[in-house]
Amino acid sequence: MTFEAFAGQTLAGVSLGMVWFLIAAGLSIIFGTLKILNLAHGSLYMLGSFCCYQVTVSLAHVAGNFWIGVLVAPIVVALVGGVIEVFLLRPIYKAEMIYQYILTFALVLIIGEACKMIWGVGYHSVQVPWPFQGSIGVFGLSFPSYNFFLIAMGPLVFIGLRTLINKTDLGRNIRAVTENREMANALGTNVPRVYTGVFMLGAWLAGLAGSLWPPVSVVALGSDMAVVIDCFIIVVIGGLGSLAGAFVGAIILGLTTAFGLYLIPKLAVAFGFILMIIILLIRPYGLMGEPE
Amino acid sequence: MANGMNRISWLGTSPRNAFMLAGLVALLVLLPLFLGQSWLSITTEMLILALAASSLNIMLGYTGMVSFGPAGIYAVGAYTTGVFMEKLGIGIVPAVLAAPVMAGIIGFLVGWICVRRSAVYFALLTLAFSQIIWTVVFQWYSVTGGDDGLVSVPVPDFFFEITNCYYFMLAVVSVCLFIIWKIVNSPFGMTLQAIRENPNRVEFIGVNVKHYQLASFVISSVFLGIAGSMHCVFSGSAFPDYAYWVKSADMLVICLLGGIYNFFGPLVGTVVYTVLTKVISEYTMHWHLVLGGIIVLIILAMRKGVVGTLANYWANRKSAAA
Amino acid sequence: MSNTFKAFGMMLATAALVAVIGLAPTTVLAEKPPIKIGFIHTMSGPISMYGISSAAGAKVAVDEINAAGGVLGRKLELIVRDDKISPDTGLREAKDLVLKEKVDFLAGTISSGVGLAISNYAKRAKKIYLINIAQSTKITEENFHPYVFRFTTNSTPYFGKGPAIALANTYKSKKIIVLGYDYETGKNSLKEFKDTYLKLVPDAKFIDELWVPLGTTDFTAYIAKMANSGADCFYLAAIYGGGELAFTKQAWSFGLYDKMKAVQPCAGDVETWSKVKQGDPYPKDALATCRYPFWAIKGEKNAEFAKKVREMTDLWPAYGALDAYIIMYAIKDAVTKAGSTDTQKVIKAMENLTMDTFVGKIKMRAFDHQAMMPTWYGIMRFTPDLPFPHITDVGELGEDSYHTIEQIKKIRGK
């Protein structure tokens, strides 16, 4: 492998990993607090993509329409998430795991079909926005500047979330509820409101990822499950419920995928899973997770 | 977690129950007389699916292990039979018999790793393994036919006649269900249910919970392998779809629709699910939406599934009358 | 505790009732029974535009034929079913159509896996099955049987041999790099392309092959490699649909289309590019094949057909629609020639069919039941005529872009 190829794979792997991180972070925070594994998280991501696409189309002649989309779409997704949490998830927190899985699976069906009814089948495209249209040369290799932007987004969001959780009232409440739900409740924390808040935050992150990825790829149905399975791997590698774990896991999976594709494309799809199995066997709760 | 109501019902031995069972068998045996060929074919598919769902339910309902990957093992069964017949030219009898053996072996290997972790990690590990099986099936073109699948498995013409195929499947599925019934109601089965209710307590009284969970995983795999093999015989083909997570989700939904704390739950779930998807997709192209909506309603309103809910209803009426 | 049993019994009774209702005979009032065509296609899910478009094409033909008095005094009746792109569902619908609806013909679908499954059933049920869209050569070569016919190009002219001839006719590139989806169709496409092209342009070199897993949409890392490879042309092996759209966008930001020529076999079909506007990334100046360039075909009949399909579906008329239209006429012609719907007679008639259509004469090749459908090629550009990029300077490929009978004999002999 040449140095150029090495650099190219690394950059590609990390930029993909950073988008995954946004989704996985939401998935992980939701699991950490609500103890629900949200199968529909990929659907929220897809919804974000479609919403962002819609904004770019509706405001086709407005400068910076993509950035408006990035602002608006995650909020729409967060609101949808709020509705889901209040009306559908709240009644089943005490139910067994399987009911929660199947309910979120039903949401996958519903959101997928709703997207199809609203935006139709076919491939939609969102253009690379100003000012990231061109490429930047590094290590003798030219690489799209938008990917550098994505790479930068990961740590930014990570730091933002850390600050939110460690420094704000909402964060304190989240930590309290995550730590000990009954205790937090007894001490006067409004637990249901924290749950809703956390789910909306997770949905917002998925929506953000959904808005940011289309300029690199396409907006199409079916992206929901593809992405959620990758994010499962990430959170399991990193440790369910751990933000730092999601960050590390996303980079690891991004790099594994990029280099796996390069070296043994035939089995690349299985690499992530194999990695996940190995890590689970060595570290039962993931790299950064803690035993429950 | 689960309360007393969730205990799996015993098959009573009262004359009335025996009468019901006889009636059921008679109905199934006579079905070809008044069912059109197309519906008979669908019923045959239902029998196979019901066996698969019941196999999954050994883990799900009886042992309390949520597996996301039954489809992977199901595909192992289907492809074992398919590859043996189409690629190796082996006869149907050994090809079918090999399926549960192969599924059992793979189930043991996968289960051995998966049972080390519990709850959500167990679920995700099973998902990972089934996706790996899917990848192997999808990529190993020379053996599995890759994305096209195996499409010309030389199944004897006897099975192409739907009535023959139906009776054959009815026999196989009945025998398998009977064995599953015996297993789950044996002392071994009782231990599985105790593990579901409270693994720590069972561990405490000196039972090796992991061994029992692994045994449950392997038994479930063996029957899933049979179901997969039957599917291959039925359709004369095997496709990568069989191993895909969507198929696993189908099986889970079926168990849930019928009710997982009930031996008959998966059977009823199969009928409801098949008829539902068929009827809905005849009326609307947006059948995902309707199906999703129905699942949500069931989870919010009748979590014990169709059988469980009806059984409770009867129990309540009886106690009200008494 | 007999409640379980009671509940179960009740469920069973309900199920039986549902089954009986499902069986209720449908009364037929027609004087002469119609000729029924079971049309199985992917009508729901992410790629349902293909099925919807094809069903519209079939419907246009059936309406025309019926308005002109039908076939042998009988009307054609189209029964459309959704295979949900699952071989199992496709198989179930095929059985239902044959057993319950008693159709005379089966037709459809997009996925080769589903197509093979239905084809295998058609063979055992002895029903004629006309492939619409599914491309795998396996259907008419390794897995051939007398009951299957294809009125659609197959992967040979479309992905491999066709683009090679087209490249030799146009850019004549010398240093080619390959990017493909890592599965059988991808590998076969490249093999066909390479073999044909090296015969036509012997001094050309294939400098590298990059393979990605099927379904990948992030090609950034590969494009970086392609851009630095020193090639003067790249060839995409079986990368189509969403993957191709994503690739193009990523290649565009690398400036790949300015660095080298492109061969994107699928780019000519409208499904992928119909929503791409002027100014958006598109396969600039790429050489592409296309199975129905409705804008480049002359004649009123073509314009009328394109307009009808567009009105019915709100989609640009695609090759699926054209092929389904031709299939319906092939049924009409073959049944008329055979004088009945007797399967063996219709097979004989269809084997020797030559049709006059608005895209030219179409001949059925009796040996492999593959219709010699034309494939078009051209250079992808924007013109004022259409809002999306499409092939221009259109050329047409005919029978020489398919496998020869000798080649097929060799493949089947293996």
Who has greater pLDDT, C13 or B77?
A: B77
Residue A249 has pLDDT above 50, yes or no: yes
pLDDT tens for each residue of C285-307: 999 999 999 999 999 999 999 99
Residues of A in contact with C225 (CB under 8 A): 4-5, 8
Check whether C308 has a pLDDT greater than 80. yes
| Of B239, B268, B244, B274, residue with least CA distance to B256 | B268
**Residues B266, B178: Cα–Cα separation, whole Å:** 14
Mean of pLDDT over chain B: 87
In terms of average pLDDT, the best of B72-76, C307-311, C404-408 is B72-76
Cβ burial of A166 (10 Å; 0-12, 13-18, 19+) is: exposed
Residue A126: is its pLDDT beyond 90?
no
State the smallest CA–CA distance between residue A203 and chain C in angstroms: 23
Looking only at Cα atoms, what is the longest distance across chain A? 60
Instruction: Pick the more confident residue, B141 or B6.
Output: B141
- Inter-chain touch B9–C91, beta carbons under 8 Å: no
How much of chain A, in percent, has pLDDT values that exceed 70? 96
Tell whether the model's pLDDT for residue B1 goes beyond 50: no
Of residues B135 and A42, the one with the higher pLDDT is A42
End-to-end CA distance of chain B: 29
Q: Is A182 helix (H, G, I), strand (E, B) or coil?
A: helix
Residue B8 has pLDDT above 50, yes or no: no
Alpha helices, H only, B115-244: 119-139, 141-144, 162-184, 187-197, 199-204, 209-235
Lowest-confidence range among A128-137, B12-21, B181-190, B267-276?
B12-21
For residue B298, what is the nearest residue in chain A, using CA coordinates? Answer: A103
The answer to whether C333 and C364 have CB atoms below 8 angstroms apart is no
Predicted pLDDT at B298:
86
**CA–CA separation, B52 vs B160, rounded Å?**
22
Residue A287 touches partner B, C-beta closer than 8 Å? no
Q: C361, exposed or middle or buried, with CB in 10 Å at 0-12, 13-18, 19+?
A: exposed
Taking an 8 Å cut-off on Cβ atoms, the answer to whether C246 and A122 are in contact is: no
- Is residue C386's pLDDT more than 70? yes
Phi/psi at B100 (nearest 5 deg)?
A: -65, -30
What are the counts of helices (DSSP H) followed by strands (DSSP E) for chain C?
Answer: 15, 15
Range scoring the smallest mean pLDDT among C21-30, C138-147, C153-162: C21-30
Question: Please, where are the H alpha helices in C111-219?
Answer: 112-125, 155, 161-169, 184-200
Q: Which of A30-34, A159-163, B58-62, C323-327 has the lowest mean pLDDT?
A: A30-34
Look-up: residue for tokens 């030799």? C168
Measured N-to-C along each axis, helices A65-84 and A191-212 cross at an angle, to the nearest 10 degrees, of 150
Residue C167's identity, in one-letter code, is L
Q: Domain C156-290+374-413 classified CATH 2.130.10.10?
A: no
Residues of chain C with CATH 3.40.50.2300: 31-153+294-373, 156-290+374-413
Range of the domain at B110: 36-321
pTM for the predicted model, two decimal places? 0.84
Q: What does the alpha-carbon distance between residue A22 and residue B60 come to, in Å, rounded to a whole number?
A: 32
H helix intervals, chain A: 3-34, 41-58, 65-84, 97-119, 145-167, 169-179, 181-186, 191-212, 223-238, 243-263, 268-282
- Indicate the domain borders of chain A: 21-224
Residue type, A32: G
Among B242, B102, B252, B264, CA closest to B177: B264
The token duo for A269 is 């799809």
Neighbours of chain A (3+ CB pairs under 8 A): B, C
> Per-residue pLDDT tens for C223-282?
878 888 889 999 999 888 788 888 998 898 888 999 999 999 888 888 888 888 888 889
- Cβ distance A109 to B295 less than 8 Å, yes or no, reads yes
Q: Does residue B19 form part of some domain?
A: no
What is the model's pLDDT at position B108?
97
**Residue A247 has which token pair?**
């960050």
Q: Are strands C370-371 and C205-212 parallel, antiparallel or unpaired?
A: unpaired
Q: Give the range among A5-14, B108-117, B242-251, C350-359 with minimum mean pLDDT.
A: A5-14
The structural domain count of chain B equals 1
Give me the residue from C49, C213, C228 closest to A268, CB to CB.
C213
Cα distances (angstroms) measured from residue C61 to each of C55, C66, C299, C397:
10, 8, 17, 25
Q: Hunting for tokens 């599995």 — which residue is that?
A: B144
Nearest by CB to residue C2, choosing from B14, B139, B285, is: B14
Please list the residues that pair with C37 across neighbouring strands: C78, C105
Measured CA to CA, the distance from residue B168 to residue B48 in angstroms comes to 11
Instruction: Note the pLDDT of residue C177.
Output: 94
Task: Please answer yes or no on whether C11 and B271 come within 8 Å at the CB atom.
Answer: yes
Which CATH topology does C31-153+294-373 take?
Answer: Rossmann fold (3.40.50)
- Interchain proximity C225–A8, CB inside 8 Å: yes
Q: Higher pLDDT residue, A151 or A141?
A: A151
Give me the total of CB pairs closer than 8 Å, taking one residue from chain A and one from chain B: 110
Confidence of residue C414 (pLDDT cuts 50, 70, 90): low
Amino acid at B156: P
The set of chains that have 3 or more CB pairs under 8 A with B is: A, C
Q: Do B289 and A225 touch (CB under 8 A)?
A: no
Q: DSSP assignment of C230-262, as one string?
A: --SEEEEES--HHHHHHHHHHHHHTTHHHHSEE
Contact A25, A243 (CB under 8 A): yes
- CA-closest candidate to residue A22, choices A209, A153, A155: A209
* CATH code for the domain of B147: 1.10.3470
Choice among A255-269, B101-115, C37-51, C103-117 with the minimum mean pLDDT: A255-269
Higher pLDDT pick, A144 / B306: A144
Closest residue, chain B, to A106 (C-alpha):
B292
- How many whole angstroms separate alpha carbon C86 and alpha carbon C90? 6
Give a yes or no: residue B135 inside a domain.
yes
The answer to whether residue B149 is domain-embedded is yes
pLDDT in tens, B61-102: 999 999 989 999 999 999 999 999 999 999 999 999 999 999
Whether B263 has a pLDDT exceeding 80, the answer reads yes
Residue B291, in any domain of the structure: yes
Q: Say whether C111 sits in a helix, a strand or coil.
A: coil
pLDDT at A13 exceeding the cut of 80? yes
C128-131/C105-108 β-pairing: parallel
Quick one: closest CA in B to C94, which residue?
Answer: B38
Whether B17 is in a domain gets the answer no
Given an 8 Å threshold on Cβ–Cβ distance, is C212 in contact with A135?
no
Question: Quick check: C224 and A4 CB within 8 A?
Answer: yes
Paired strand residues for C168: none
Token pair, residue B59, equals 């883990």
Please, what is the Cα angle at A231 between C43 and A190, to 5 degrees? 105
Q: For helices A145-167 and A3-34, what crossing angle results, to 10°?
A: 30
Q: How many CB pairs under 8 A join A and C?
A: 112
CB contact under 8 A, B314 and C6: yes
What percent of chain B lies above the pLDDT cut of 70?
Answer: 94
Q: How far apart are CA A211 and CA A204, in angstroms?
A: 10
Q: Which residues of C244-253 are buried (b: 16+ CB within 10 A; e: fewer)?
A: bbbbbbbbbb
d(CA C349, CA C149): 12
The one-letter code for the residue type at C292 is: Y
Chain C: partners with 3+ C-beta pairs within 8 Å: A, B
